Structure 1
Amino acid sequence: MQIMKKILPVILLSLISCLGYAKTPALNYEQFGNLPMIQYPSVSPNGEHIAAIYNAPDGPSIVISAFGSAEVSTIVQLKKSQDRIEGISWVNSTRLLITASYSESIGNKRFRRDRIFSVDTDGTDLVELKTKMPPSAASWEKRRAASLSVVSLLKDDKKHVLLQTYDYRDEVQAVYKVNVYENDFDKLFVNKFNVHTWITNDKGQVLFGYGTEKSKKVTDVNTIWHRKNEQSEWELLHKQKAYSGETFTPVMVENDKLLVLTDYKTRRQALWSYDIQAGKFIEKLYGHDKYDIADVIYNPDRSRVIGVYYYDDYLRQHFFQNEDNNIALLVKNSFKGYQATVYSRSEDKTKMLVYATKDNSPQKFFWLDIKNKKGGLWFSTYPFLEGQPMPNVLPITFNADDGEEITGYLTLPVTADNNKKPPLVVWPHGGPIGIRDYQTFDPYVQFFASQGYAVLQVNYRGSGGFGTNFQASGHHEWGKRMQQDVYNGFDWLKSKNLVNTDKTCFAGYSYGGYAALTAAFQKPEQYSCVVSIAGISDLLTLAEKDYRWQGNLRAHIVNTIGDPTDESIAGELERLSATNNMDKIKAPILLMHGRYDTQVRVEQSADFYDKAKSAGLDVDYVEFKYGTHYLDEADNRLEAFKQLSEFLEEHLK
């Protein structure tokens, strides 16, 4: 990471200086293949500045602007292609924390390692916050655990934060009080309990720990630790086997109670208060009768939970105080035609950034100064797509062949000839567990539509947000029920006679790539082409590679995909893998994968390509040298869209 002091050119800002945009030439992959220009903006505590991630062509950077100004300056920049900025936080109104990460190969598998920097808002005094790694700590197990994460911003201490990282002496996660100016680490206590997640109260006191049972054997038993205050001894209160009983995600200790996101009683994620000592849920603070609560909303210094948010088709917020709900209502009503929510604000709540989105226009950030009754557009995430006619994303509902109601979205191109039905791209989401599609603007979906293709998205069983029962109905259903839901969506759309289903490409990302390759051998006559981006071709190998990691990751594999050590299950995983069904595949295939992918090993695509070529299949493979799972490097993302454009042009038109 290097310090930069130059002022960014303002030419991009001139494109979006008002809501009347100048139209750009006809859209192609070059406009859609850009990374979001601005990400994760945050208003300083005093409301004087906005900090954000800026995705420049030569690498990600952190920019600062005066609140209400469209002029920004770069204060730090990471190395192109090798680093990623994960987030930013304010320690105080002149000091920032920056969380960055890089991909590292450990034990023949890639992991993302987090690093944390602190810097002044003028770009000076850049410090990396890190402990010293002894030579004996070079083993992959220890290096894998050595990422840092923020435990508390310590609202009453503007020089220190609490960070969690691996302690090489205790061989567990320890909490340190860290001076953000001097990189001085002070360990607070010894972790004897194999805790991996530490939780504080509003004063930054570490009073709760969530971990895994300490055992010489492989264990997936979660443990809950608590102490009444910083002078008390830690007590083991409760144990629970992973994937049994209700879900349990601790959020914060508040008034001697724990705030927890859980599906207790309702089988939908809700926010509850929890009596730590008694091990009992007390009161549901907020839940929705149809959708899961996605997460909580914190106040600016993250010392207090002030609300929750969930998704129906769009992001929705609920605050616990009337004042906050009144502000949210004001924001919602001030941006007609948009779904608008409060994104970040100052401590006194008078200056804020608003996140405004709709299905056929890029997301935008507006600034609002409530006290002075001023506001304006700050940035569009995709300025080169502004002012272009783009289609609406239409919610759909259909019944699967077993009667289950399935939701999704259909996007029809605005350029469609009424006398000619458009070709179709089937585009299931990744994940699969816990992820879903939304009605909001998606550059991939709008890119497909801009090229004249209809797009079908299906929230198949296993998708998140619709309750535990719906999500759990996707467990052990890779290539089966989850796949069938997408096929049923295709059949439903075919019955509507809106698109040319004889010209269909099944394309997907990550799990969506698995679904695409699976469709290639399960429905060889149905699809004109197949695209797998960072996808899975060998389900058994995926399960075996991740099964070797002990604890909850192993439990996740066993409970959602299947136990690869069970001979009958292993055989089924083999049968549900494209790599073992080459003789059935007929459609041309495009594979894309990044070498630095930390979620799906690049060999999933590389090995499939070699085997497919040997089998004489029509297959192309693009491998990106520094590519991550999300291809979130400017050149890689642009090349991926270029490859998509050319492949679809060849096989659908």
Structure 2
Amino acid sequence: MRSNVRLSVIISLLLAVSALGAKPGWAAGGAEAFFRFPDMVDARLRPDGAGVAGVRMSAGSAAVVYSDLERDEERQLFDVTDYAGGESAIGPVVWIDNQYLAIQLHESVEGIAQLLETKVSSRLLIVDTLEKSADIYSVRTPGELVDPLPEEAGTLLYSKSGSVSKVYRLTVSKLTVDRKPLGKLDLVDGGQFVSDNELFSIEGYVHAWHLGQDSKSSMALRLNREEEALQLVHLHVEEGTPEVFESWPLDDSESEQKVIPVARAEGETEFYGVDVTDQERQTLYKIDYRADTQEEVYRTQAYRILDVLTSPNHELIGVKVVRDGAVSYEYVGQEADASPGEQSEQLRVVIDRSTHKGRALVYRERHNLPGRFMLVDDKGAVLQQVGEVAPVPSGLESARLEQATVTVEGLEIPYLLNLPSSLPTSEKSVPLVVLPHGGPEGLYDTPYYDPVAAYFVANGMAALRVNYRGSGGISSAHQQAGQGQWGRLMLEDIHRAVLEVKKRPDIDGRRVCLVGASYGAYAALSLAIQHGGDYQCVAAISGVYDLNLLVNSTDLNDTQREQLVELMGVSAQETDALMQLSPLYNLQDWSVPLFLAHGGEDRISDMEHSHRVNKLLEARGFSHEWYFDAHAGHSFIDPEQRRALYSDVYRFVHRQLEREAGSSN
């Protein structure tokens, strides 16, 4: 099994949801504890280990705070909305030294149509964390932070791009307070953009600089207009001629993959990159340009990867993504303490290390514990908690997680079963909610905190999540086994896991409900069509139900359509075969209670899929619940939208399973 595992600290996914009625006999917490805005979403340790800079969220707005670990004090340094307005955002905070903190501020401005990058203005802000007045300084010359040079107090490397792009060494003490008018004798940025401070220079517009470990060499991603190409170029301060490592022609080809470096990895010529020909940019690769190797290291369920988060040693920490227009952070960890065939039940990610005191900042998360930022010593002992994503919800303290596998057609299919802590005296078993994940290819469920699974568990239900063939995070062979199995063995994997779990004495096999979103919604409807007697209700959200409509969508480019066809095992021209795999055309004998939901602003699964199912069932006189939010996106990410949706989903599941229990008795 691959050791690469992930968790999602989704800034706008953990949303406040209204309180739902708990099943009698269970002391569950309110839904607000499970679906809420997170508190702390990112943190960075001061180089000497004496303080932590964190990013806290409040009603969707980010604020940078500083925690003095010696005095046990915290104060706010910077609020994005108060300082720059609601359309602004910040990049990861970076320590320059033990006094100054760098914040890259991105503000929305008027730009040129179709050129997204021109609609964002960026500037580097510097906050003095030792001054309680917290004056904010800035580099007024447009550009980007290249390296904070933490070993050189008060100094940083900064890039300025143009027809000739350069990197300069700047001194913080020469900068002026941001937004303060300059005097007649004042020079912009202290007059530091001069040849004496110049470190690197190269012809062409450089989009990104990646400094080498010795600060004497750098990789530059530059635009070469003469050759009409984007190039990865190596420079050294003692060598005059740059070396071109890779070149990508500037054409509109959609068929050829172009993995462009985004952040430096551990090796001198190793990088993390994304395929810019992939419109969704959900996959992160690790490339070694000298060895000419490339491997997939992470895939997100969000719309697009914006940036890569790495440690000072260039180890992968996480990614910054866009999900339904909102910025999210997803952390990536490396676990080595899991049993063979299992993932560790606790995610532990070293986010930052101090240069002194032997301290480290660690992120921890479990299936019954939302994320925690912990300060640990050089032996791993916890010194104190620095922040948390959310408090531990009531009803989860003693919840259990079991990992097991079921063999389907010779392939081991892993599954995760979240269970309540214990049964009430009046119950011998609990109902089961099956949560097939979306994707389907490359995405996967982890044994870490999942607010949907956790909410059902706290309300007295078991939650089953299956990493069917095609899922990522297991092995390349497991993912490859999903080719051609979209509506076939992927579904069989889920169903066989359900049958296995139903054998347990603590699971009530007469009360089983499918709840899925995206591909998970497709799987939920398909499984109920094929095995209606085994499932007592279905909740399907943002799903795809007509594969002819999906594969012939004008929103797909040729590469995406080809990948989809390979996954389905049916070509776009095989209309009858696609109809056989589509739930829409197989509802003749539908009898399972159904909750169907979709958002009008869904840009991933066309709402026409749900409209067709809804209208067909209405025409046949089948009574079902239809939920439509004209302003919701694929994930119903807005707090009010998600609150309304999941309130109704829970009530539906609870009502149907209680009704089934009554009829059985």
Identify whether the pair has TM-score above 0.5, normalized to the shorter chain.
yes
Question: Which residue of 375, 381, 391 maps to 2:383?
Answer: 375
Q: Name the SS of the counterpart of 2:38 in structure 1.
A: coil
Deviations 1:542-592 (A, max 9, x none): 44447644xxxx534422554999543565445433344443543333344
Contact 1:38-1:380 at 8 Å conserved across structures:
yes
Compared CA separation, residues 118 and 645, structure 1 to 2 (3 A): farther
Contact 2:518-2:542 at 8 Å conserved across structures:
yes
Compared CA separation, residues 637 and 461, structure 1 to 2 (3 A): same
Equivalent residues in 2 for 1:119-134 (5 A)? 119=125, 120=127, 125=136
Question: Take 2:465 and 2:262, find their aligned partners in 1: how far apart are those partners?
Answer: 32
Deviations 1:342-365 (A, max 9, x none): 333334464432323333333322
Question: Take 2:402 and 2:61, find their aligned partners in 1: how far apart are those partners?
Answer: 35
Partner of 2:656: 651
Deviations 1:128-149 (A, max 9, x none): 9998xxxxxxxxxxxxxxxx99
Partner amino acid, structure 2, of 1:467: S
Contact 2:33-2:391 at 8 Å conserved across structures:
no
Question: Which residue of 631, 636, 640 maps to 1:635?
Answer: 640
Equivalent residues in 2 for 1:40-51 (5 A)? 40-51=42-53
Taking only aligned residues, the RMSD between alpha carbons, in angstroms, comes to 5.6
Question: Which residue of 420, 443, 455 maps to 1:413?
Answer: 420
Equivalent residues in 2 for 1:137-148 (5 A)? none
Q: Name the SS of the counterpart of 2:437 in structure 1.
A: coil
Q: CA deviation at 1:437?
A: 1.6
Deviations 1:406-461 (A, max 9, x none): 11111222353475322111112223332222222322112111122111111111
Q: Name the SS of the counterpart of 1:342 in structure 2.
A: strand
Partner of 1:513: 521
Equivalent residues in 2 for 1:91-490 (5 A)? 92=96, 93-97=99-103, 118-119=124-125, 120=127, 125=136, 158=155, 161=158, 201-202=212-213, 203=215, 207=219, 225-227=232-234, 229=236, 231-232=240-241, 235=244, 252=264, 257-258=269-270, 274=288, 276=290, 279-280=291-292, 304-305=313-314, 315-317=333-335, 340-348=348-356, 350-368=358-376, 375-383=383-391, 385=393, 388-400=396-408, 402-417=409-424, 419-490=427-498
Partner amino acid, structure 1, of 2:76: S
Q: Normalized against structure 1, the TM-score is what?
A: 0.66
Contact 1:292-1:465 at 8 Å conserved across structures:
no
Contact 1:154-1:161 at 8 Å conserved across structures:
no
Contact 2:147-2:156 at 8 Å conserved across structures:
no
Q: Name the SS of the counterpart of 1:88 in structure 2.
A: coil
Partner of 1:73: 76
Q: Name the SS of the counterpart of 1:465 in structure 2.
A: coil
Partner of 2:507: 499
Question: Take 1:469 and 1:244, find their aligned partners in 2: how far apart are those partners?
Answer: 24
Question: Take 1:351 and 1:91, find their aligned partners in 2: how far apart are those partners?
Answer: 15
Q: Percent identity, please.
A: 20
Partner of 2:55: 53
Contact 1:37-1:55 at 8 Å conserved across structures:
yes
Contact 1:260-1:271 at 8 Å conserved across structures:
yes
Q: CA deviation at 1:252?
A: 3.0
Q: Normalized against structure 2, the TM-score is what?
A: 0.65
Deviations 1:248-288 (A, max 9, x none): 988637775436799xxxxxx99999462xx556xx9xx9x
Contact 1:53-1:85 at 8 Å conserved across structures:
no
Question: Take 1:493 and 1:72, find their aligned partners in 2: how far apart are those partners?
Answer: 49
Partner of 2:182: none
Partner of 1:90: 94
1:555 equivalenced with 2:564 (yes/no): no
Question: Take 2:637 and 2:563, find their aligned partners in 1: how far apart are those partners?
Answer: 30
Which structure has the greater CA radius of gyration? 2
Question: Take 2:44 and 2:286, find their aligned partners in 1: how far apart are those partners?
Answer: 28
Question: Take 1:441 and 1:481, find their aligned partners in 2: how far apart are those partners?
Answer: 27
Deviations 1:156-195 (A, max 9, x none): 795555699xx9x99xxx9999999889999976779xx9
Which piece of structure 1 moves more, 115-124 or 455-464?
A: 115-124
Compared CA separation, residues 74 and 97, structure 1 to 2 (3 A): closer
1:536 equivalenced with 2:544 (yes/no): yes
Q: Name the SS of the counterpart of 2:241 in structure 1.
A: coil
Partner amino acid, structure 1, of 2:78: I
Q: CA deviation at 1:377?
A: 2.4
Compared CA separation, residues 455 and 253, structure 1 to 2 (3 A): closer
Question: Take 1:410 and 1:70, find their aligned partners in 2: how far apart are those partners?
Answer: 41
Contact 1:152-1:162 at 8 Å conserved across structures:
no
Question: Take 1:42 and 1:507, find their aligned partners in 2: how far apart are those partners?
Answer: 37
Compared CA separation, residues 468 and 51, structure 1 to 2 (3 A): same
Q: Name the SS of the counterpart of 1:441 in structure 2.
A: coil
Contact 2:147-2:158 at 8 Å conserved across structures:
yes
Unaligned runs of 5+ in 2: 1-25, 180-187, 194-199, 275-282, 301-306, 319-331, 338-344, 659-665
Question: Take 2:594 and 2:216, find their aligned partners in 1: how far apart are those partners?
Answer: 53
Q: CA deviation at 1:650?
A: 1.6
Q: CA deviation at 1:32?
A: 1.5
Q: CA deviation at 1:474?
A: 1.6
Contact 2:594-2:625 at 8 Å conserved across structures:
yes
Partner amino acid, structure 1, of 2:212: N
Partner amino acid, structure 2, of 1:304: N
Question: Take 1:585 and 1:126, find their aligned partners in 2: how far apart are those partners?
Answer: 65
- Kindly tell me the number of residue pairs found equivalent between the two proteins: 551
Question: Which residue of 583, 592, 599 maps to 1:587?
Answer: 592
Q: CA deviation at 1:29?
A: 1.9
Partner amino acid, structure 2, of 1:446: A
